[in-house]
C-alpha cells in the first residue's frame, strides 16, 4: 500500500483534545492496536499493498459496480408510484426535472463497490451480492435526500438538489421510499444471508439517524460547547457506519464467519471516518468545479465540521479568532478570514493526520479478515481512492 503523506503543522499546534491516534503532525508508521503500538496484536504483519496505489484500479472497480448495480436500481425505482418515481429518477440523474431523459451523474458507487469487493475478497460470488449492493446504495441515497433537506444544501452532483426542485415534503417522501425499496429488495432475495443483511442494514439506519440527530443538535450549540471527541463519534455514526455496513454485508454474502464480518465492519468504519475527514477538508478547500458545491458553504452556515472543531479546540490565537467569527452570523467578506483561521489553527493539518491514522487502523482490521494482500486488493484500492481524492 502506498504511504499517506502528511505535513507538520505550519500555522500552529495540532490540537491535543482527542483520544484516538497521534497528534504530533506525523503520519503513523503502521496500524496500531488499542495500546497504540504499531503492528497487529497477533504478531502478523498488517495487510499491505503489493504495489503503489493505482487510481485506475479503483475507478475500474467503481465503474464495474455502477454497471452491475444500476439495472437493479432502475428496476426497483420503476416500481414506485409515478410522482415518487419521477423524483427518484431526477435524484439519480436519469431524468431532468421535467421528466425528459438525462445523462446525469448517479454518484461514485463507493458503497456498492465495497459490498462487491468484500464478497470477492472472502471468496464469494459477485453476481450473488449485486442485489445486496443495490440495497446499500438505496440506503445511501435515502440519507442524501434527507440530509440535503436538513442541511439546506442547494446543489448535489452539479445540479439543484431534490428539495430545491420538488419541495421538502417530496424529497423526504422519496427518501423514505428508497429506504423501503432497499428492505423489500433484501426481503425478496433468496440468498441465505439476505435476512441477516437486512437486519444489519436496519440497525445501521438507526445509527445513521442517531448520528444525524446529534449532528443537527450540535449546530445549535455555541462553538465552545462542542468537543472534538463527540464530533468524531458523530462522524463515525453518520459516515463510517454505512461504509462498515457495506463491507459487512459483502462478507455475509461470502458466507464469512462472525469474526471476519465484524473485522470488515471495523475496516469500513475506520475508512469511512478517514473519508469524512477528507470530505470536510474538501468542503473548505476543494474546487467547486469538481465538488459541485460552492467552496466554504459549510463555513458560511457555521457548520461544525471536523477541521473547524479541531481548530476551535486548538488553544491557539487563530482558534480564538475562529470562535469569534463562528459566534456571529456570517457577514459578507468573512469567508477568507474564516478559512485562514481554520488553517492557521491547525484544523487542516489535523484532519489530514487523523485521516492517515484512521486508514492505518482500517488496514489492521482488514488484515485480520483478509491477510492475503492480493485478495484484499480491491478493498484497499477503494479505501485509498476515497481518502486520496481532492474533490
Cell of 60: 475500474
CATH number, domain containing residue 314: 1.10.600.10
Query: Helix, strand or coil for residue 170?
Result: helix
The verdict on residue 159 lying in a domain is: yes
The verdict on residue 9 lying in a domain is: no
The verdict on residue 249 lying in a domain is: yes
The verdict on residue 46 lying in a domain is: no
Closest by Cα among 248, 174, 253 to 204: 248
Number of domains in the chain: 1
Q: Which residues pair with 277 in a beta bridge?
A: none
Closest by Cα among 275, 291, 245, 277 to 140: 245
Q: Name the DSSP class of 287.
A: -
The verdict on residue 12 lying in a domain is: no
Give the integer Cα–Cα distance in Å for 236 and 230. 10
Residue 4 burial (10 A CB sphere; 0-12, 13-18, 19+): buried
386, 62 in Cβ contact below 8 A?
no
Closest by Cα among 125, 3, 111, 118 to 378: 118
Q: Name the DSSP class of 228.
A: H
The pLDDT, as a whole number, for residue 53 is 59
The helix (run of H) or strand (run of E) holding residue 384 is: helix 373-388
pTM summary value: 0.83
The pLDDT, as a whole number, for residue 199 is 98
Provide the domain limits for residue 327. 55-388
295, 286 in Cβ contact below 8 A?
yes
Neighbours of 90 (CB within 10 A): 23
Cell of 338: 474564516
The pLDDT, as a whole number, for residue 389 is 65
138, 73 in Cβ contact below 8 A?
yes
Residues 6+ apart with CB under 8 A from 282: 291, 389, 390, 391
Query: Helix, strand or coil for residue 314?
Result: coil
Residues 6+ apart with CB under 8 A from 43: none
pLDDT tens digits along 209-254: 999 999 999 988 888 899 999 999 999 999 999 999 999 999 999 9
The verdict on residue 10 lying in a domain is: no
In the predicted model, residues of the chain with pLDDT beneath 50 are 1-51, 391
The verdict on residue 378 lying in a domain is: yes
The verdict on residue 148 lying in a domain is: yes
pLDDT tens digits along 248-275: 999 999 999 999 999 999 999 999 999 9
Amino acid at each position: 500500500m502506498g504511504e499517506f503523506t502528511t505535513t507538520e503543522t505550519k500555522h500552529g499546534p495540532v490540537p491535543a483534545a482527542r483520544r484516538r491516534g497521534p497528534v504530533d503532525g506525523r503520519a503513523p508508521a503502521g496500524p496500531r492496536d488499542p495500546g497504540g503500538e504499531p503492528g497487529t496484536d497477533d504478531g502478523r504483519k498488517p495487510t499491505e499493498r503489493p504495489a503503489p496505489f493505482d487510481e485506475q484500479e479503483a475507478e475500474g472497480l467503481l465503474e464495474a459496480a455502477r454497471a452491475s448495480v444500476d439495472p437493479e436500481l432502475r428496476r426497483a425505482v420503476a416500481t414506485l408510484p409515478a410522482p415518487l418515481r419521477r423524483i427518484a429518477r431526477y435524484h439519480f440523474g436519469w431524468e431532468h426535472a421535467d421528466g425528459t431523459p438525462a445523462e446525469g451523474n448517479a454518484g461514485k458507487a463507493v458503497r456498492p463497490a465495497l459490498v462487491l469487493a468484500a464478497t470477492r475478497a472472502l471468496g464469494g460470488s459477485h453476481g450473488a451480492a449485486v442485489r445486496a449492493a443495490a440495497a446499500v446504495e438505496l440506503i445511501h441515497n435515502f440519507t442524501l435526500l434527507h440530509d440535503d433537506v436538513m442541511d439546506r444544501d442547494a446543489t448535489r452532483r452539479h445540479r439543484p438538489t431534490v428539495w430545491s426542485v420538488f419541495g421538502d415534503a417530496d424529497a423526504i417522501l422519496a427518501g423514505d421510499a428508497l429506504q423501503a425499496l432497499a428492505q423489500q429488495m433484501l426481503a425478496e432475495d433468496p440468498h441465505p444471508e439476505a435476512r441477516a443483511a437486512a437486519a444489519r442494514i436496519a440497525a445501521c439506519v438507526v445509527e445513521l439517524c442517531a448520528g444525524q440527530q446529534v449532528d443537527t443538535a450540535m449546530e445549535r450549540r455555541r462553538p465552545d460547547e462542542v468537543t472534538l471527541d463527540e464530533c468524531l463519534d458523530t462522524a463515525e455514526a453518520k459516515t463510517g457506519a454505512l461504509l462498515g455496513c457495506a463491507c459487512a454485508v459483502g462478507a455475509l454474502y461470502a458466507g464469512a464467519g462472525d469474526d471476519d464480518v465484524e473485522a470488515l465492519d471495523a475496516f469500513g468504519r475506520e475508512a469511512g471516518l478517514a473519508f469524512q475527514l477528507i470530505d470536510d477538508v474538501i468542503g473548505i478547500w476543494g474546487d467547486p468545479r469538481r465538488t459541485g458545491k460552492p467552496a466554504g458553504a459549510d463555513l458560511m452556515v457555521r457548520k461544525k465540521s471536523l477541521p473547524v472543531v479541531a481548530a476551535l479546540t486548538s488553544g491557539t490565537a487563530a482558534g480564538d479568532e475562529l470562535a469569534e467569527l463562528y459566534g456571529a452570523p456570517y457577514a459578507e467578506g468573512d469567508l477568507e478570514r474564516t478559512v485562514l483561521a481554520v488553517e492557521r489553527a491547525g484544523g487542516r493539518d489535523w484532519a489530514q493526520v487523523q485521516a492517515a491514522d484512521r486508514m492505518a487502523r482500517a488496514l489492521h482490521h482488514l488484515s485480520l479478515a483478509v491477510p492475503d494482500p492480493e485478495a484484499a486488493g480491491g478493498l484497499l484500492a477503494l479505501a485509498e481512492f476515497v481518502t486520496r481524492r481532492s474533490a
